[in-house]
Amino acid sequence: MNDFLVAVDDVLWGPFVLIPLLLGTGIWLTARLRGVQFTKLVPALALAFVRRHDGHEEEGDVSHYQALATALAATVGVGNIAGVATAIHLGGPGALFWMWISAIFGMAAKYSEAFMGVRFRTMDAKGEVSGGPQYYLQRAIPGPLGKFLALFFAIAAVVASFGIGNMTQSNSVASAMHDTFGISPMVVGLVLAVLTALVLLGGIKSISRVTSAFVPFMIVFYVVAGAVVLAINFRGIIPALGLVFTDAFTGTAAVGGFAGAAMAQAIQFGIARGIFSNESGMGSAAIVAAAAKTKHPVRQGLVSMTQTFIDTIIVVSMTGLVILTTGVWREGKTGAALTAQGFSTGLPGTWGGIIVALSLIFFAYSTVLGWAYYGERNVERLVGVKGVLPYRLIFSAIVFVGATMELSTVWTFSDIANGLMAIPNLIGLLICSGLIARETKAYLSVDPTLHHEPAVSTLEGTEHLEAGRRER
């Protein structure tokens, strides 16, 4: 079974299916949106972290910032510590360059899916906002095709939530706690399961309150620790960047314990691990974006776009540069062990290992909470609101299971489930790219900077959006 899953995973994430589809969709959307990730990044960051409210917001369950924090909780996870290390181990230093490329074009996909999530969101039986590909694929694409894509996505998302969003994360926490502090995985699993259940039973408002409180702390903690390593090893920064850019196009010769990698490997593992980390194009972030308090899909799209920037351009880059500047990438280790070795080499004493273990715990647990929300929204889409409470309880119980078992096959299965989520969503984004581009242009034409909002312009922007909807 494991050999079969590995074969499927290699095809799905290989050079002929998801990698060209993800990269091609990102490039197409970047062109249609006139490079929105470049021209509106600074205003988008200000909207996410400085200006927390629209000023005229009504609909939705959580603020812009809380929606962003919950999405970051789900994406800034084990992939930011282990994923980039694995990419460098398999593809060489050049893989980091291709992770950046996946993020740059992925920002356009992230913007688009968040836009669609708000644009076609609905209300469930409990009065909570629901949205995401499981809704907008059917509502935006008429006929059997839209319905099929929506249901396909919903099923894949529920399956993925138990894999990459649950067992693999709790297992990583349990391993880190056992290796660093000697705590039994049974104890870690039980504590994690109880804490998860307590948060989940409060719904999205409870999840967003928890994640918005500690997600910024965990990211800053990790980035500052990485910055200290880079400051200590500052002489290695320029050579490391040189390796990244040259090896991205030439491949890496064997050196030390590193077996060598061709350019094709750098591209494949860089893009695959980049998408695994930031989830751009998978459609997951659109689910929580739909819950944001905003009347303008464009605004939440811009806020959600910053998630990919923070995840890959900041956090992943920090991990990659620590590994490269300390030289540990040549020694043959992979995954979280390689990242831990980088921090341990760069910092005195045992601080490096402790920092990576604590970061892994925070990153993984936050991912569990974010993915629990993704899963329950798709359960609600498939069987109705009556399925949400049982899902939350089962999900919490599976957290315990994941912490106490070997998960090599689950990791592969999770990769496949992630890929199956991305395919219908990317097809939908390509089909709806004209709608996304038209309504984005209409809104940005009356609020081009997002730094000021004259009353007349805001009204005109709303009228432009409504006119576009009527035309469609």
Residue 49: how many other CB atoms lie within 10 Å: 15
pLDDT tens sequence across 47-100 = 888 765 544 545 666 676 777 887 887 778 778 888 899 899 999 999 999 999
Per the structure block, which two tokens stand in for 128? 């909570």
Across 200-317, the runs of DSSP E, i.e. the strands, are: none
pLDDT tens sequence across 190-224 = 999 999 998 888 877 788 788 777 788 889 999 99
Percentage of the chain lying above the pLDDT 70 cut: 92
Q: Report which secondary-structure segment, H or E, holds 186.
A: helix 185-200
CA distance 270 to 408: 21
Q: Which long-range contacts (CB under 8 A, 24 or more apart) does 133-138 make?
A: 133/157, 133/283, 133/286, 133/287, 133/421, 133/424, 133/425, 133/428, 134/287, 134/377, 134/378, 134/381, 135/290, 135/381, 136/286, 136/428, 136/432, 137/424, 137/425, 137/428
pLDDT at res. 457: 37
- Least confident piece of the model among 19-33, 83-97, 124-138, 438-452: 438-452
Residue 445: how many other CB atoms lie within 10 Å: 12
Q: Which residues contact 213 (CB under 8 A, 6 or more apart)?
A: none
Residue 128: how many other CB atoms lie within 10 Å: 17
In this prediction, residues 149-175 reach a mean pLDDT of 91
pTM for this one?
0.89
pLDDT tens sequence across 325-377 = 999 999 888 888 899 999 999 988 788 888 988 898 888 888 898 899 899 99
Report phi then psi at 60, rounded to 5: 115, 170
Residue 201: how many other CB atoms lie within 10 Å: 12
